[in-house]
Amino acid sequence: MNCFTCQSAIGPDDSWCSKCGAAVRQRVDPDSERRFVTILRADVVDSTGLVAELEPEAAVSRLEPALAAMRGAVRQFGGIVSKELGDGLAAVFGAPIADDNHAPLACHAAIELVRRVGSLGDPGLQVRVGLHSGHVVAYMVASEFSKVYEIGGAAQHLAARLETAAEANQIYVSEACQKLADGHVRFDFLGRKTLRGFNEALPVYRIIGASDLSSWRVRRARSVSRFVDRTTERALLWRAAEKVVTSGQTVLLMGDAGIGKSRLAHEFAQGLRADGWRLLDVECSPNLQGAPFSTLKRLVLSLLEAVSRDSDRLADPRKELSAVHQFAIDAVLDLPISDPRWSELEPYARGRAISEASCAILEGVARHSGTVLLIEDLHWVDRASDTVIAAIASLQVPNLFVFLTSRPNGMPEWIARCHAEVIAMRSLDDESGMAMLADMLGTSVTNAGLKNRIISHTANVPLFIEEVCRGLKDNGTLRGQWGDLALVRPIEELGIPTSIQGVIAARLDRVSRQERLVLQVAAALGPRSSEAVVRRVSELPEDALRDCLAALDRAELLVRIDSDIADSLEFRHEMVRQVTYESMVEKVRESVHARVLAAFENDDILRDDPDALCYHAMRAKDWPKAFNYGRSAAQKCLLRSAYADAVDYFRTAMSSLDKTPITSSRETNAIDLRMEARMAFIWSGRVAEWVDLGKEADQRASEINDVGRRVAAKTVMAGGQNFYGTPAEAVTLGEEVVGLAEESGNPGWRNLAQYNLGQAYFLAGRYREAERTIARARAHLMGPDASAPFGTPPKYTLLLCCMMKSFTHTVMGEFDAAEQLQQQAAAIAEETGRPYDHVAAAYSGGWLKLGRGEPAAAAAILEDGFVLAQKHGIRLFVPVLACHLGMAYLEQGLFDRARGMLTEAREEAKAVGYTSAVLRSSIYLALATHRLGDVQAAQNMLREARNTARQQGFSGLEAEALFGEAMVTPPSGPEAKAAILGALRATIAIAAESGALPLQHKAEAMLNEIQATGDELS
């Protein structure tokens, strides 16, 4: 443990730091949580110069008035002073109780802080303030004498740097805070500034004053959708309005933040106004909760303004009041009262007078015509006004409709006593949610999937829908104008806009500690869970769990749903789950996931789900289990041909194992895991990573002097080299590995090494050596002691040998032998039923049909293989299948289709890193381009392919490129004819040496034709 003050090491039983003498403070971990808050940092400018020559007592007295003013301003707006620094302080808004207005409140506190210090009348005391909104870890710190609420994380450092950069009596604000408070506060953009400790210049804003806009007007200005539905709620409101003529009515519109209370209230009130009703509009403000009668003052001003606008029909209602009641109204309006009769009244009597006077002037206005008094956001009403509004709501005055809005947690206690009708607002239905999205995104069917995701993510809460869409537009995921937006890139996760994190966090703060525990367990389990698992993990008594689930269901946070899973639980919307999960600090998350993991392991059904077990082991940081379950999940993915998923799980298993202590056993496991993982990387076309697996395994095997595993690692490297390197390098490494494998006495790796070497010979154009080498491996694999490397069935390696040997015989013109091998490959594929095996067999079958001159039959086989490879993510085969499919189209005279397919093949081969496939697809793309009339482009492509093949040692492909050059070069003169003859003779020489008889015969026939005719080619 370290001292909080000087960071010196201190013992667990020490009460004081021996270095600096500070009291030891200990973090209380159970109270730690992640919060999205606004941080305020303020200090006195040049405080050192002010107190440098003063005695300690005088120095404290000099700065204390400023500090007191700072504290008062922070507390007035609901902030918590987390730390005092002698000449300044750090404060937090939005914690420990979440508040969705934390940024506007912090900005108003900063304005008030500067005002209070300035009003001290001491020109030497000037302050500067920095504000930033971001995620922090908040926790209680206990010392020997007290507890302090502190925050940690990078966010507080940015607030401190903004404070340091600010000028005297200025408030500098980060972009994150500005976005949240914009509209409530006015800002001036100062450009991007370089702040100490931050690599890039950051946008900085300066507060220039509070805005006079109401919260409703701020929200309305941001809204980009029209008012939709609310048919039921509007019908209830109209029914209540119809009763107003005979007796007053009070209606409370209740709903959570973002549900659309203000939108409905204003839409309805404006409808009444259009019918001739008088509208008095009052809003309770979170910034003025601490100011007595702030709401009532607005109400009275609204009344007087209505009277002045209709002075022909309405007299000033204050004239009908008694003197004391007139004094009461003046007191509310902060007007001076010189009459001693008011000051002599007891406080209770003054309060009663204010209430009576307010009711009287409201009755006077309502007496003349229908009046609707809309009081919004009653949950933010100040205490003094609350009593008066209770009296107003209880009035039974004809023509008076008192219309209130409130969140559930702020519903006043007196609402039942005034016989108000309470209308609870719910989320929109799916149809209305889709109508909102149609307004914002447009009606294009291309956005249908996104709209469904947003509906599910937000549970049709209007504010959430708007803010999610706004976030996608702001970050460039959606492009265009509102009403016509297009999705331009895929979305991994919709996330939670910062503007509504506080709204959700505030809802979560209303639940009990036990209910929070249940939510945390459910959040760790995912969007949906079973009650049985939650019960097992939470370890709550049955009665307590039942009460928690009932309370969470009522709060529409975690609800029971109809499902195939008994007692299934689901978060009302995904954002609640995300905020719950993100609010847990790392240690709490790990603990919850560890308990979930234990519960899964003890369940007969759940223990067979390695995917979930791996996820929870990773989150619990139980690295040995994460390794085991990751490996099991990867093996499961391989069985169902989910190769990309298998790669992810193998990576998880490898990284988890590497986090365990280094031992000989760990290293052997690490090598074996990489050898096993090679198949997933091979099949999904991750060639470079496949080679890296072999290199890593070879290095680890060398370090522990494990010869057998070095052979395995080098075999994997040799296989990757056939795709990623040059044939010469592949042959050299392949021959070395075969020798090592035979010496080591491991027949499985020897067979694979022989297959790899045969493939290397094939790529180098040494077809006879390729055939003999693969034949040896095939013979071993067909014998009674067939063996293959672990994680690879012998029949898989046998199928590869049949496929590769069939290619070789086809290239050499030995079609009957190729046919027998192809039949064996197809039979193995039928027997195993694995997609990979079917794709491999389709590839060799298509190649054989092309060799036999049956392009239509080849295309049919290759098309099936191509579709299957794409469907199952067998990316290694995609470029070669596409290439040969393009060749089949070319042979059929389908030149446009051939060019399109060969272009795709070349690009995919480049992406995978499949060198020979890039060359082959380039050669035949050139031929298709030639047949479509672009001779020059075809010649350039073939020349480049021939040079590359020659430089890198692909002699077979060099011969094919040379033959292609002879075909596309126009015999326009002696020089061109000489080039054609040279290309043909070179083709014949290479083909004869390698054994590629069909290519040799084609070139010889063409050469003989030229020599016989001495004229243009036919």
Element (H, E) at 100: none
Distances (CA, A) of 748 to 481, 517, 753, 949: 62, 53, 9, 33
775-790 in b/e burial notation, b at 16+ Cβ within 10 A? ebbbebbeeeebbbbe
Residue 2 β-bridge partners = 9
Model pLDDT, residue 140: 66
- Average pLDDT estimate for 879-908: 94
* Cβ contact 107:209 at 8 Å: no
621 dihedral zone (left: phi>0; alpha: psi -120 to 50; beta): left
* Cβ contact 697:720 at 8 Å: no
Tokens (6 digits) for 507: 């809802």
- Average pLDDT estimate for 570-580: 88
Report the SS3 class of residue 916.
helix
Q: Which burial class, exposed, middle or buried, applies to 142 when counting CB atoms under 10 A from its CB (0-12, 13-18, 19+)?
A: middle
Answer yes or no: is pLDDT of 475 > 90: no
Report the SS3 class of residue 26.
strand
- Average pLDDT estimate for 214-228: 79
* CA-wise closest residue to 400 among 365, 376, 354, 375: 365
Q: Which burial class, exposed, middle or buried, applies to 169 when counting CB atoms under 10 A from its CB (0-12, 13-18, 19+)?
A: middle
* CA-wise closest residue to 92 among 42, 44, 55: 42
Model pLDDT, residue 143: 53
* CA-wise closest residue to 23 among 137, 151, 139, 146: 146
CA distance 250 to 317: 22
Per-residue pLDDT tens over the stretch 73-117? 999 998 999 888 778 899 999 888 888 899 999 999 999 999 999
Round to the nearest angstrom and report the end-to-end CA distance of the chain.
89
Q: Write down how long the chain is.
A: 1018
Lowest mean pLDDT among 224-233, 320-329, 669-678, 756-765: 224-233
**Cis peptide upstream of residue 96 (ω within 30 degrees of 0):** yes
- Average pLDDT estimate for 583-587: 88
Mean pLDDT of the chain: 88
* Cβ contact 34:98 at 8 Å: no
Report the SS3 class of residue 289.
coil
Residue 652, CA atoms < 13 Å, CB-side half-sphere: 29
CA distance 338 to 938: 102
CA distance 539 to 523: 16
CB atoms within 10 A of CB 1008: 11
Please tell me which residue, 221 or 599, carries the higher pLDDT value: 599
* Cβ contact 135:34 at 8 Å: yes
Answer yes or no: is pLDDT of 650 > 80: yes
- Write out the DSSP string of 168-226: TT-EEEEHHHHHHHBTTEEEEEEEEE--TT-SS-EEEEEEEEE----HHHHHHHH--S-
* Cβ contact 706:859 at 8 Å: no
- Beta pairing class for 558-561 and 568-571: antiparallel
Lowest mean pLDDT among 150-154, 671-675, 886-890, 906-910: 150-154
Report the SS3 class of residue 440.
helix
Lowest mean pLDDT among 129-143, 278-292, 414-428: 129-143
- Average pLDDT estimate for 280-292: 86
CA distance 996 to 1013: 26
Answer yes or no: is pLDDT of 30 > 60: no
- Average pLDDT estimate for 937-948: 94
- Write out the DSSP string of 989-1002: HHHHHHT-HHHHHH
- Beta pairing class for 278-283 and 371-376: parallel
Answer yes or no: is pLDDT of 311 > 80: no
Model pLDDT, residue 1: 44
CA distance 293 to 332: 6
Report the SS3 class of residue 951.
helix
CA angle 935, 903, 826 (to 5 degrees): 120
Residue 315, CA atoms < 13 Å, CB-side half-sphere: 5
Q: Which burial class, exposed, middle or buried, applies to 732 when counting CB atoms under 10 A from its CB (0-12, 13-18, 19+)?
A: middle
Tokens (6 digits) for 495: 């996330």
Answer yes or no: is pLDDT of 12 > 60: no
Model pLDDT, residue 165: 93
* Cβ contact 42:159 at 8 Å: no
Tokens (6 digits) for 946: 């021939």
The contacts of residue 857 (CB under 8 Å, 6+ apart) are 849
Report the SS3 class of residue 23.
strand
CB atoms within 10 A of CB 792: 18
Answer yes or no: is pLDDT of 276 > 70: yes
Per-residue pLDDT tens over the stretch 500-534? 888 888 888 888 889 999 999 999 998 888 888 89
CA angle 619, 620, 623 (to 5 degrees): 95
Please tell me which residue, 489 or 131, carries the higher pLDDT value: 131
CA distance 105 to 288: 10
CA distance 10 to 375: 57
Neighbour order of strands in the sheet with 558-561:
528-530, 568-571, 558-561
Q: pLDDT confidence of 14, banded at 50, 70, 90?
A: low
- Beta pairing class for 249-254 and 400-406: parallel
Dihedral sign for Cα atoms in the order 950, 953, 955, 956: negative
Tokens (6 digits) for 52: 């440098």
pTM here? 0.76
Q: pLDDT confidence of 566, banded at 50, 70, 90?
A: low
Rg (CA), the chain: 39
- Average pLDDT estimate for 207-212: 87
Distances (CA, A) of 365 to 310, 386, 395, 408: 10, 21, 13, 31
Answer yes or no: is pLDDT of 31 > 70: no
CA distance 66 to 808: 89
The contacts of residue 825 (CB under 8 Å, 6+ apart) are 799, 802, 803, 806, 840, 841, 844, 845
- Long-range interactions of 337-344: CB distance < 8 A, separation 24+: none
Model pLDDT, residue 389: 93
Mean pLDDT highest for which of 236-245, 368-377, 898-907?
898-907
CA distance 779 to 824: 13
Model pLDDT, residue 7: 46
Tokens (6 digits) for 905: 């093949």
CA distance 304 to 306: 5
CB atoms within 10 A of CB 511: 19
Model pLDDT, residue 1016: 46
Q: pLDDT confidence of 815, banded at 50, 70, 90?
A: very high
* CA-wise closest residue to 986 among 999, 971, 970, 974: 999
| Alpha helices by DSSP H, 246-346 | 261-274, 294-309, 323-332, 340-343
- Average pLDDT estimate for 917-931: 94
Task: Name the DSSP letter for residue 394.
Answer: T
CA distance 800 to 817: 16
Tokens (6 digits) for 107: 């900005």
The contacts of residue 239 (CB under 8 Å, 6+ apart) are none
Answer yes or no: is pLDDT of 941 > 50: yes
- Average pLDDT estimate for 24-34: 54
Please tell me which residue, 19 or 586, carries the higher pLDDT value: 586
Model pLDDT, residue 725: 75
Q: Which burial class, exposed, middle or buried, applies to 474 when counting CB atoms under 10 A from its CB (0-12, 13-18, 19+)?
A: exposed
The secondary structure of 873-941, three-state, reads CCHHHHHHHHHHHHHHHHHCCCHHHHHHHHHHHHHHHHHHCCHHHHHHHHHHHHHHHHHCCCHHHHHHH
Report the SS3 class of residue 604.
coil
